[in-house]
């Protein structure tokens, strides 16, 4: 049997109570037994025991990816940035101690305090992240109310401030402001132009003096 760890005991130490990708689905590792891995599908809550060498594990290489996630079900549009702390740890998957959740408040990216990791990964917006299904810049500008945020890709999000100005963020960093069909970038963020054009090929990008 192909096995990534020395034995089931080591696998239990590395995997238990972490999140991994199983095929195209995010799963929570409930328990590791000698007979296999007990997983819970985050989206549906279904619990199964699967073999260690199930091909859906892809040799345990795939950890749930990070990026901006649109959160559905709240009083107003918002998005949360899922990140991972760059640290040497014994456990293999994603779990709260190594995950960071941040959001845009008053034009700053700050720590989110009202959602946990499981709530984020089980939100419909995380399924959209996995599919890389996001609204366009124009769609977002048309519907985004003031003091609200929306992701337009894993890397980029838009925040509309109290004055109605729409600001573009690349992860934690403010890139510039948006108007219909145009992005006005700061001198020290103009090197993100190519990445912005990958998301919105027809947008006009203008440098701010």
Which token pair is 6? Answer: 């020395």
Q: Where are the domains of the chain?
A: 8-60, 67-207
pLDDT, position 91:
85
Region of residue 34 (left: phi > 0; alpha: psi -120 to 50; beta: else) = alpha
CA distance 113 to 41: 24
Closest C-alpha among 199, 205, 184, 108 to residue 151: 199
- Whole-angstrom distance between the N-terminal and C-terminal Cα of the chain? 62
pLDDT, averaged in runs of 10, over the chain (209 residues): 66 92 97 93 96 91 96 94 85 92 97 96 97 96 97 98 98 95 94 95 91
Tell me, what's the pLDDT at 9? 82
pLDDT for 5? 65
Question: What pLDDT was estimated at residue 47?
Answer: 98
């Amino acid at each position: 049997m192909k096995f990534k760890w020395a034995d089931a005991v080591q696998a239990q130490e590395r995997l238990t109570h972490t999140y991994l990708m199983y095929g195209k689905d995010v799963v929570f590792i409930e328990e590791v037994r000698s007979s296999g891995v007990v997983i819970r599908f985050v989206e549906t809550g279904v619990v199964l025991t699967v073999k260690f060498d199930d091909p859906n594990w892809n040799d345990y290489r795939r950890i749930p990816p990070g990026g901006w996630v649109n959160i559905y079900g709240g009083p107003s549009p918002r998005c949360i940035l899922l990140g991972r702390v760059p640290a040497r740890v014994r456990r293999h998957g994603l779990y709260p101690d190594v995950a960071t959740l941040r959001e845009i408040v008053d034009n700053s990216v700050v720590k989110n305090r009202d959602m946990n990791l499981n709530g984020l990964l089980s939100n419909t917006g995380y399924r959209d992240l996995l599919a890389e299904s996001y609204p366009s810049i124009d769609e977002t500008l048309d519907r985004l109310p003031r003091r609200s945020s929306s992701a337009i890709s894993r890397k980029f999000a838009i925040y509309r401030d109290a004055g109605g100005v729409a600001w573009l963020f690349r992860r934690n960093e403010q890139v510039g402001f948006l108007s219909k069909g145009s992005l006005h970038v700061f001198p020290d963020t103009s090197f993100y132009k190519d990445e912005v054009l990958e998301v919105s090929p027809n947008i006009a990008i203008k440098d701010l003096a």
